[in-house]
Every structure is written in structure tokens, then in C-alpha cells.
Structure 1
């Protein structure tokens, strides 16, 4: 820029031009960088989304190490960096979780390659369950679908609910196995005491 008064336009290009674009994973191929690059910004307005994406692109993004306190509900429920409101409060108030303004919220689409991976993971979890737990889960799915065929490819909220149910069944199964082992140890311990 010239120092002349009122001269706001420059005729020459910038002196030092980059030969190649900046790559945030050029010299750093750690898991943290991969995780940051895979973040999909959601529950924010378009301007806030662009700000956070810029931080990710130019390696300025710093993820949270602990959850922050939500400005609306006061609970430690904010798990995304640069957000000040939890996603539940943002959905209830229909406002941006970063700037807290009532603007149009940008929704993130699930990547197409993510969907089959989640379906395969759900099927693998289902196959790892014993028959009794598997049938319990299928009855639960049928109840949710109101009598239709059990669907594996459901919405995101339904999928989370199904994963939670599967994990609870898996935990119950592990607890049952541990109880069974404890009973065997007690029985074997009684035999050694009586001898």
C-alpha cells in the first residue's frame, strides 16, 4: 500500500508469493492431526462454520481436553472447541452454538462411505451376541419400527439408540460371564475347603 492519502488501490502484486498451498499435514502426520482434519463442523451458522474450517485448514484449531460449561444450561456439556453452548441447547433454541445468534444452522451430511462402515459395525456387534441377546435386540428393533422388518440403515438418532442398546446388552453379557466365573470359583473353593 502506498502512503499517499486516499490511495487504497495497489497496482503491483504482492512481493513474496507462495509457490504451493499450505498443507496442515505436510510435516505432521500424527493421529491428533488426522483427528482434527476429520472433524465435521456442525450446529453452527455459516459464518462460524467458515471460521472453524479456516482454523482447521491452517493448523490453528486447538481441540478441547475437557468439556466446557454451557452458557445456557450451566452443565459441562460442551465437547466441541470454540462452541459456547451444548448441542442440545442449540437444537432447543434453534441458534448457533458458537455465536448464540438466531441464524440458519448448517447441518452436516453423513459421508456416504461412513454409512456402510457403521452398518457393518452394527452387524458385527449383533453377530457377536449370543442368540438370546440377539433376539432381545431384534424384538427391540421391531418395537421401534412398529411391526415392520428390522432395519439396520436407520437415521443417525436411531443408530445411536441402537448402538446404546447393543452395548448395554454386550455389557450385561460380560457381567453374566463374570458372575458365572465367580460361581465356578466359589464352587471349586468349597470343594478344596471340604477335603
Structure 2
């Protein structure tokens, strides 16, 4: 038995395992479910964001029907469930609107913004040039996934200089092989 004394470890996997992941909109196509799936949780710390995202994912999120009272300004200004501070008070004090602890919410958004800008910049150029730029970025920064402003400036400079590069004509690389074949055939004919 797993509950018997001294037998703290189980030797078998759980009996009933899920074959497919849970989908909160599988049988529920209502506007409320669509709204909750598109809800962007902001103004909270990472832990609280994960909690609220879990509640949304497994249909445990109960949205507010009427605005709640903020514990700081005591106005009925809270529009999101599970929050205790309104967005104005939370941003003013730089704290999480749910757990009221100090938060650095600006840091992850700054990291995501350059990646989005880089993707938008690289979207309009041909695949070959895009791969050239990505190889250069990975080579200079050893595959770091963080895009810094320095990298962004380098990419912008590369894009400006891309027109000067002639990547479509790679005859120079093939000439070495072609010349050696023709030289061998000529030398074979001469002998």
C-alpha cells in the first residue's frame, strides 16, 4: 500500500493518465470563454500571473460582475477578479495588484519588445538574407536568446547594408570548382 508506514515511494506510474490535454473551449464556444481566453493579465507579479493564467486555462476564473473597492484609494475601481488594488494605485506604488508586493513588471515587457521588433523587421526580407542575419547574431552573441539594443542596432545596420551585398550571385564560390574541372580536362587533352 502507498499509505502504509515506511513506504513513502511509489514504484508504479499513476493508474489513469490523460491522453489529451484539457481544452477549456472544447464544448463551450460562448463569448465569455472567448473573452477569457483572450484576456491579457497585466499589472501583477509573475507568480500571480501564473495563478490567474491557470484559473483561465482550467475554467476556474470567475470574472467580476460589478467593480470592487480598492484597498488603497477605497474607490470602486477594480475591474479584474482577484485583484485588491486598482490599476492606477498599483502602477503608482509599483506593486502587484493581486498580492500587493513589489514588482518589476517592466523588465519582461522590454525583453519581449525587441524580439517582436526583430521578427517584424525580418519578416519582409527574403529567407536567405534572414538566415544570414540570424547566423550572424548567433555567432556574435553565442546563441543568447535575449535581444539587446546593441543587437538591434547591428541588425538594422545589416539590413541597410543588405542591398550592397550580392547574396543571390554565388558564382564566385562555384568558379573555383568549375575552373579546376576545366583545367583538368584541358591538361588531359594536352597530354
Q: TM-score when scaled to structure 2?
A: 0.54
Superposed CA RMSD in Å reads 2.0
1:31: which partner in 2?
Answer: 31
Q: Secondary structure at the match of 1:64?
A: coil
**Uncovered stretches (5+) of structure 2, i.e. residues with no partner:** 117-191
Shift of 1:9: 2.2
CA 1:6–1:41 in 2, change beyond 3 Å: closer, same or farther? Answer: farther
1:13: which partner in 2?
Answer: 13
1:82: which partner in 2?
Answer: 82
1:90-101 to structure 2, matched below 5 A, reads 90-101=90-101
Q: Secondary structure at the match of 1:33?
A: helix
Q: TM-score when scaled to structure 1?
A: 0.53
Instruction: Quote the Cα distance in structure 2 between the aligned partners of 1:92 and 1:6.
Output: 53
Shift of 1:92: 0.9
CA 1:6–1:32 in 2, change beyond 3 Å: closer, same or farther? Answer: same
Per-residue CA distance 1:128-179 (angstroms, 9 max, x = gap): xxxxxxxxxxxxxxxxxxxxxxxxxxxxxxxxxxxxxxxxxxxxxxxxxxxx
1:24-173 to structure 2, matched below 5 A, reads 24-105=24-105
Instruction: Quote the Cα distance in structure 1 between the aligned partners of 2:5 and 2:43.
Output: 45
- Contact 1:43 1:96 (C-alpha < 8 Å) held by counterparts: yes
CA 1:6–1:86 in 2, change beyond 3 Å: closer, same or farther? Answer: farther
- Contact 1:67 1:76 (C-alpha < 8 Å) held by counterparts: yes
Runs of 4+ deviating beyond 3 Å:
106-110
Instruction: Quote the Cα distance in structure 2 between the aligned partners of 1:10 and 1:43.
Output: 41
Larger C-alpha radius of gyration, 1 or 2? 2
Shift of 1:20: 0.7
Instruction: Quote the Cα distance in structure 2 between the aligned partners of 1:7 and 1:44.
Output: 41
Instruction: Quote the Cα distance in structure 2 between the aligned partners of 1:63 and 1:46.
Output: 20
- Number of aligned pairs? 111
**Uncovered stretches (5+) of structure 1, i.e. residues with no partner:** 113-195
Q: Tell me: higher relative CO, structure 1 or 2? Use CA pairs within 8 A at least 6 residues apart.
A: 1
Instruction: Quote the Cα distance in structure 2 between the aligned partners of 1:4 and 1:84.
Output: 44
Q: Secondary structure at the match of 1:48?
A: helix
Shift of 1:3: 1.6
1:3: which partner in 2?
Answer: 3
Q: Secondary structure at the match of 1:77?
A: strand
